[in-house]
């Protein structure tokens, strides 16, 4: 049986340096050093933190926003780009595990972008990457969906860790796939979404999803959400002069931690920039499983049979 660790974790709520990979990576490295100096062994960054979220898909029509797709592509990364190396080096120097969202360019197919979370070990190694399976709503104008090959749980130094991006934390089957692989630490990262319908409370929706996963799986969920900076607002005011009121809408973000009972622990943030911390003891995942262990005794696998295609999907397969 693997060791059940105790450790401190940090979650970041802030904005990227919009359309600037190098400056955003530098900002992330500074944060990694800060949280490490405060004792954190794991830090979670927001969705597509490197280095822009395509808000134009929501506030402009598809024709108006199309030109920004090219700009986003040119400010996106391959996972082995030299611009990302400081992240790996800083993780190694600080002995801190890092999960961070990036806009990832496909290494073969030009123009294809993925919403990707990188899982970086405390030794500075890329343990893996998760590509968001289904872009949400207007995001389909920007990202291509990933495949089942990235639905993995990683044996990190703090414990078995999995991650999903934003709305796919609503996907019960994706979440179960991670739970069934022994996930005990879940990273759920988001972007601030003030452009959602007015009846939709984004901060509450994030907490509901995180609480559901923590309670169902009897694990810890770490949530990291980005904010919308003054820089971003001014960027879009050139295209949509009335966007400020929309972007400054309250209750658009939540960053924090949920325990195996689905309860918020440690510090949390709504709307404001900052870094929050919590102490995690994985032995707290044990007792709740006596009541509801949906990957063990509290299920009927003679009735239910979940099958997951974990093969990478290719545009072409050659056959001799």
Catalytic residues: 47, 132, 166
218: left (phi over 0), alpha (psi -120 to 50) or beta: left
Q: Does an H or E element contain 40, and which? A: strand 40-44
The alpha helices in the chain, defined as continuous H runs, are: 21-37, 56-59, 62-74, 85-94, 172-179, 202-217, 230-237, 243-247, 286-291
Q: How far, in Å, CA of 238 to CA of 240, rounded?
A: 6
The token duo for 123 is 């030794």
Instruction: Record the tokens describing residue 285, joined without a space.
Output: 């995942």
CA distance to 49, 65, 232, 282, per residue, from 70 (Å):
18, 10, 18, 44
Long-range Cβ contacts of 305-313 (<8 Å, 24+ apart):
306/173, 306/176, 306/177, 306/180, 308/148, 308/151, 308/173, 308/177, 309/147, 309/148, 310/148, 310/149, 310/151, 311/147, 311/148, 311/149, 312/147, 312/149, 313/147, 313/149
């Amino acid at each position: 049986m693997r060791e059940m660790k105790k450790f401190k974790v940090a979650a970041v709520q802030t904005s990227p340096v919009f359309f600037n990979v190098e400056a955003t990576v530098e900002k992330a490295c500074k944060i990694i050093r800060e949280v490490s100096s405060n004792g954190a062994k794991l830090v979670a960054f927001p969705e597509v933190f490197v280095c822009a979220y395509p808000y134009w898909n929501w506030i402009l029509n598809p024709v108006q926003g199309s030109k920004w797709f090219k700009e986003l592509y040119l400010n996106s990364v391959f996972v082995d780009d030299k611009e990302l190396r400081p992240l790996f080096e800083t993780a190694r120097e600080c002995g801190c595990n890092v999960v961070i969202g990036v806009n990832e360019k496909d290494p073969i197919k030009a123009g294809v972008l993925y919403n990707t979370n990188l899982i970086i070990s405390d030794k500075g190694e890329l343990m893996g990457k998760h590509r968001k399976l289904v872009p949400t709503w207007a995001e389909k104008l920007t990202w291509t969906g990933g495949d089942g090959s990235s639905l993995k749980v990683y044996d990190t130094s703090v414990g078995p860790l999995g991650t999903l991006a934003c709305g796919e934390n609503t996907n019960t089957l994706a979440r179960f796939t991670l739970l069934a692989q022994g996930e005990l630490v879940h990273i759920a990262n988001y972007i601030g979404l003030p452009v959602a319908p007015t009846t939709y409370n984004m901060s509450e929706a994030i907490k509901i999803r995180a609480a559901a996963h923590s309670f169902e799986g009897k694990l810890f969920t770490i949530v990291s959400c980005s904010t919308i900076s003054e820089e971003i607002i001014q960027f879009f005011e050139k295209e949509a002069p009335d966007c400020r009121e929309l972007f400054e809408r309250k209750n658009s973000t939540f960053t924090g931690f949920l325990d195996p009972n689905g309860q918020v622990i440690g510090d949390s943030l709504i709307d404001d920039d900052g870094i929050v911390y919590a102490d995690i003891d994985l032995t707290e995942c044990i007792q709740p499983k006596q009541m509801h262990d949906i990957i063990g005794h509290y299920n009927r696998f003679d009735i239910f049979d979940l099958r997951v295609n974990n093969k990478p999907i290719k545009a072409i397969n050659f056959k001799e």
